[in-house]
């Protein structure tokens, strides 16, 4: 049997177990420390990356706007006034003789031509007058012929010195009296014939007949104030409209130069074009209460779209600006410094551009100074912009998104 030395640690089994346990703990501690170091490394690496990402600038999206290019084109200049359609002729037809209205040969609202028979009166009283006048004429013609024959006999007898000169002169006077009577009778015949003509009432002008004022069977008189019916000429038609007195010299200059000024008639909403015509004339005085002067334009009115006393907008073309810079009128902005627009630069930022506007017509404006052809101008979304703002231009006809409406 082996003897174990108590002073030899290798010979103690308990101490051997303690040493193994300490070695295992050491390995675990080293492993934990290593894991901690790895975790710290990962943490610091991730934080550094996040810090670097946080330092990067954030791209701010541009404000969506609708923009169009300024164009160089001819720009028409108009003067617009609310006018009244006025016919060239409005005729109230009266009877020229007294009598009973026998026939009405038209329908209310019918179009008639000048010379068309539209009504008749009872002609029988005037036919009787014509017969009487013709009978009186025939009798007086017979008297005249007899007096002329006697005058020829008296002339022969006077040359033969068979009768006195006084008797010859008396016969000559009698012939002249009968000649006057016959002439008067002829006048009575012509008058009776004219009365018969007046019994047939014809249209003096071409146009539209209004509502009936007198019905068949009524006795009408030449002194009646109401008349039988009214005819209004429809073609051509005129429009009387006012323009500001400050614009009168420009119009007069065109008229004196014998230039034909085009005029267009639109409905009251300025949406539908009714007809196209030319300026006819101007009034001879200015209305001091309104500071306007009246103009008259004439229209062919071939489709009868212009109706008497109708209110229309008359648009007078007074000038065409050649090669004007034109952009939509919604692009115009106003501020303390005057009028301006937002121009989109090549880097897609907006800049304020002061402009001078010469004319605004039909949703477009002619820019006198401040813009060049081809520059991109904001027409929708300008209320959200400021100098240097980044924008996202879109073509005309599109609208900014709801997010753009709320702003960045």
How do residues 3-61 score in pLDDT, each as one tens digit? 445 555 455 554 555 666 777 777 777 777 777 777 777 766 665 565 555 555 555 67
Strands 219-220 and 262-266 come out as unpaired
Percent of the chain with pLDDT over 70: 88
Distance separating alpha carbons of residues 14 and 16, to the nearest angstrom: 5
Which pLDDT band holds residue 277 (cuts at 50, 70, 90)? very high
Reduce the DSSP state of residue 111 to 3 states and report it.
strand
Range in 15-19, 129-133, 268-272, 302-306 the model is least confident about: 15-19
How do residues 62-113 score in pLDDT, each as one tens digit? 889 899 999 999 999 899 999 999 999 999 999 999 999 999 999 999 999 9
Global pTM exceeds 0.85: no
The third-level CATH classification (topology) of the domain covering 94-230 is OB fold (Dihydrolipoamide Acetyltransferase, E2P) (2.40.50)
Class of 65-74+323-406 per CATH?
mainly beta
On average, the pLDDT of the chain sits at 86
Query: What is the per-residue DSSP string for 113-138?
Result: -TT-EEEEE--HHHHHHHHHHHHHHH
pLDDT at 403: 39
What is the DSSP code (8-state) at residue 225? S
Residue-range domain boundaries for the chain: 14-55, 65-74+323-406, 78-88+235-321, 94-230
Going by C-beta distance under 8 Å and a sequence separation of 6 or more, which residues neighbour residue 349? 388, 389, 390, 391
Distance separating alpha carbons of residues 336 and 157, to the nearest angstrom: 117
Greater confidence, 297 or 402? Answer: 297
Strand partners, 343: 351, 377
C-beta separation of 351 from 389 below 8 A: no
pLDDT at 50: 59
Going by C-beta distance under 8 Å and a sequence separation of 6 or more, which residues neighbour residue 8? none
How do residues 287-323 score in pLDDT, each as one tens digit? 999 999 999 999 999 999 999 999 999 999 998 889 9
Is the predicted pLDDT of residue 136 greater than 70, yes or no? yes
C-beta separation of 366 from 324 below 8 A: yes
The third-level CATH classification (topology) of the domain covering 78-88+235-321 is Elongation Factor Tu (Ef-tu); domain 3 (2.40.30)
Is the predicted pLDDT of residue 174 greater than 70, yes or no? yes
Which pLDDT band holds residue 381 (cuts at 50, 70, 90)? confident
C-beta separation of 49 from 42 below 8 A: no
C-beta separation of 224 from 113 below 8 A: no
In terms of Cα–Cα distance, which of 170, 201, 1, 169 is closest to 94? 201
């Amino acid at each position: 049997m082996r003897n174990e030395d108590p002073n030899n640690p290798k010979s103690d089994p308990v101490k051997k177990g303690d040493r193994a346990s300490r070695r295992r703990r050491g390995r675990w501690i080293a492993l934990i420390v290593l894991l901690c170091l790895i975790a710290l490394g990962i943490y610091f690496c991730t934080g550094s990356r996040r810090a670097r990402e946080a330092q990067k600038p954030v791209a701010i999206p541009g404000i969506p706007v609708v923009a169009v290019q300024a164009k160089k084109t001819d720009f028409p200049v108009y003067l617009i006034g609310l006018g009244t359609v006025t016919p060239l002729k409005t005729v109230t037809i009266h009877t020229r003789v007294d009598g009973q209205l026998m026939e009405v040969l038209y329908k209310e609202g019918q179009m008639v031509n000048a010379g068309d028979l539209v009504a008749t009166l009872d002609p029988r009283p005037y036919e009787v007058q014509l017969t009487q006048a013709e009978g009186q004429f025939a009798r007086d013609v017979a008297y005249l012929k007899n007096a002329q024959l006697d005058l020829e006999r008296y002339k022969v007898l006077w040359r033969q010195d068979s009768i006195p000169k006084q008797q010859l002169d008396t016969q000559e006077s009698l012939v002249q009296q009968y000649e006057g009577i016959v002439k008067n009778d002829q006048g009575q015949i012509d008058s009776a014939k004219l009365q018969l003509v007046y019994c047939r009432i014809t249209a003096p002008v071409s146009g539209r007949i209004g509502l009936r004022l007198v019905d068949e069977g009524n006795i009408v008189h030449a002194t009646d104030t109401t008349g039988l019916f009214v005819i209004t000429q429809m073609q051509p038609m005129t429009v009387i409209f006012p323009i500001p007195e400050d614009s009168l010299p420009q119009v007069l200059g065109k008229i004196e130069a014998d230039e034909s000024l085009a005029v267009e008639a639109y409905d009251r909403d300025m949406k539908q074009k009714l007809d196209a015509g030319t300026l006819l004339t101007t009034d001879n005085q200015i209305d001091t209460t309104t500071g306007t002067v009246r103009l008259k334009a004439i229209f062919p009115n071939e489709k009868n779209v212009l109706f008497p006393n109708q209110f229309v907008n008359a648009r007078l073309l007074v000038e065409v600006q050649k090669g004007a810079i034109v952009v939509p009128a919604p692009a115009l902005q106003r501020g303390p410094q005057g009028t301006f627009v937002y121009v989109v630069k090549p880097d897609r930022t907006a800049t304020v551009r002061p402009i001078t506007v010469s004319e605004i017509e039909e949703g477009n404006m002619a820019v006198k100074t401040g813009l060049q052809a081809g520059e991109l101008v904001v027409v929708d979304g300008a209320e959200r912009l400021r100098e240097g703002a980044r924008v996202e231009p879109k073509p005309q006809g599109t609208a900014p998104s709801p997010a753009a409406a709320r702003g960045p």
